[in-house]
Amino acid sequence: MEVVASIMKDYIIELLKDGKRIDGRGLEDYRELEVKTNVIEKAEGSAWVKLGNTQVMVGIKADVGEPFPDLPNMGVMTTNVELVPLASPTFEPGPPDERSIELARVVDRGIRESQAIDLEKLVIVPGKLVRIIFIDVHVLDHDGNLVDAAGIGAMAALLSTKLPKIEYNEETGELVKLDEYEPLPVRKIPIPVSFAKIRDNLLVDPNLEEEHVMDGKITITTDENGYISAVQKSEGGSFKLEELMYAIDIASKRAGEIRKVVLDSLNKE
Amino acid sequence: MMEKPEELKLLDEKGYRIDGRKKYELRKIDMKIGVLKNANGSAYVEWGKNKILAAVYGPREIHPKHLQRSDRAILRVRYNMAPFSVEERKKPGPDRRSVEISKVIRGALEPALILELFPRTSIDVFIEVLQADAGTRVAGIVAASLALADAGIPMKDLVSACAAGKIEDELVLDLNKEEDNYGSADVPVAIMPIKNDITLLQMDGYLTKEEFLEAVKLAIKGAKAVYQKQREALKEKYLNIISEEE
C-alpha cells in the first residue's frame, strides 16, 4: 500500500507540473455530478448523488420531540454520516469513527450556520414540541471528496422533503398527522466545495487517488448570497493566505454551478 | 449558538467588551513548561479562564502494532475535557465534538513535525481541558506545541494559534465564553509563524468572504502575539537551565 502510494504520488506530482490531473481534469474542474431526488419513498425526503465515481444516498426523516432548552422556539436538526463497509475496503463496521464524525459535523455546520432550514417554522408547541429533522448520509461508493457529495446530497434531500401536517389537540395533548403535506421550509442552498493541497497546488474536488497523496484539504461552504457558512481545514499540510483567497473564489463559483444541478434535479421529479 | 438575551450588550458605546477588553485585545495568557514528571514533555497554559494541560509521550513503541508505519512516526492526539471543566457537568469520555477537535488539532500540529525521523514509532499528544471558557482548541494547540518542544521533538516551527470572531456586528480577537455563545461567528486559526503557514482553520458562523478573510488575518495577528509568549516561556525554562549549569 505505501509503495503504491509513493509511486502514485510521484506520478501525480509529475503531472501537476504541467497543470494536469490523473483523470484528465484541470485543477479547477469539478467531476461530473448527477443528482436524483425522491429516490426513497419511505423517507420524507431523499437524494442520490453521483460525483465522479463517488456515490452517496441521503435520507431525511422527521420526528416530533422536545426542543433544546436553550432554543425553545426552534426545531431541531441533526446530521449523521455512516461510512458503511460496502463503500470502501477502508470502512469498517462499528460506531462512527473520526472520519465520519468530522464529515457529518462539517456538513451540519454549513447548513446550520446559514440557517438554510427555517427552524422557527418547525415548532408545534413552543418550548415543548418541535419537529426533529434527521439528515442521514449513507456513503455507497468512496472515490474521494465525500464532504461535497454529502453536502450536496443533504441539500437536495432537504429541498425534496415534504412533511405531513401535524395538528395538536390541546385538550387531549394528542398529535394527529394529517394526510396533507407541506414542503420543509428551506431558505438557502449552502454548498461545500473541497480542495486537496498537493505540494503547491490546489485541486478542486479531489478523487480518491489524489486524496491518498494529498498533504491537506480545505472545505469552504458558500450560499447563493456569497456568504460563507463553514470552513474546515482538514488532515495535515498547510495553506497560505493567498491560497485561501483563491479557494474561496473558486469555491463560490463551483457552488453556483452545483446549485443549478441540485435545482434541476428537483424539477425533473 | 444561543439566543442572546435582549439586554445583553457584548460591546459598549466606547467599544469595550464585557470583560473590559478592547476589540483586538487578547486575554491574559500564562504558560509553564515541564510541569509533569512522567511525560516526555509537558506544558500548562492559562488563557483567560481556560486552564489547559498538554503532555507528550514519545517517540515510543506503538500499541496496537498494526498502526506502525515503516517510513515514519504516527502522530496521535487526544483532546479531552474534564467533567468539571464546564458549567454543566460533561459526561466523561469523548463526544463527537472532542473527536473532531482531536482530529483537526492533529492536522494542525503534524506539519510542524518531521515524522520521517522516527519510523515505526508513535508520538502521542494528550490535551486535558481542566477549565473551559471558549478557545480551548487554540489554547490546546499552543500548549501541545510547547509540550512537543519540551519533549525535544524536532520541529520546523512552533505552532501558535488564536481565534477571532464576530460580536454585535464587529470583528474581535479571542472570544470569551459569552461572546462565543451569543456571537455570530468563531474562526479559530493555527499557524507556523516563520513561513506564515496556516495549519488549522475552521469557521462556525455566517460571514461574507471579506469579513471571513479579515477574521483570519486578525486571528493570525493574535497567533503571532501568542507565538512571542511561547518563545519567552521556552527561553525562561531552558535559558535558566543553561545559566544554572554555568
Query: Which neighbouring-strand residues pair with B53?
Result: B44, B128
List, run by run, the mean pLDDT of 10-residue segments along chain B (246 residues). 74 92 97 97 98 97 92 97 96 96 98 97 98 98 98 98 95 96 94 98 97 98 98 91 69
pLDDT in tens, A116-160: 999 999 999 999 999 999 999 999 999 999 999 999 999 999 999
Q: Who among A115, A231, A238 is closest to B197 (CB)?
A: A238
Domains of chain B: 29-245 (3.30.230.70)
Q: How far apart are alpha carbons A96 and A197 in whole angstroms? A: 26
Asked if the C-beta of B100 comes within 8 angstroms of chain A's C-beta atoms, the answer is: yes
Domains of chain A: 2-13+27-268 (3.30.230.70)
Do the Cβ atoms of B137 and B186 come closer than 8 Å?
A: no
Taken as a whole, chain A contains a residue count of 269
Phi, psi of B22 (to 5 degrees): -85, 175
Q: Who among B97, B198, B204 is closest to A239 (CB)?
A: B198
Please determine, for the modelled complex, whether the ipTM score is greater than 0.90. yes
Asked if the C-beta of B69 comes within 8 angstroms of chain A's C-beta atoms, the answer is: yes
B144: burial class by Cβ within 10 Å (0-12, 13-18, 19+)? buried
Contact A252 B198 (CB under 8 A): no
Tell me what the pLDDT averaged over chain A comes to: 95
The amino acid sitting at B195 is: K
Contact A102 B198 (CB under 8 A): no
Give me Rg for the CA atoms of chain A. Answer: 20
Contact A252 B212 (CB under 8 A): no
Q: How many C-alpha atoms does A36 have within 13 Å on its Cβ side?
A: 8
pLDDT in tens, B172-211: 999 999 999 998 899 999 999 999 999 999 999 999 999 9
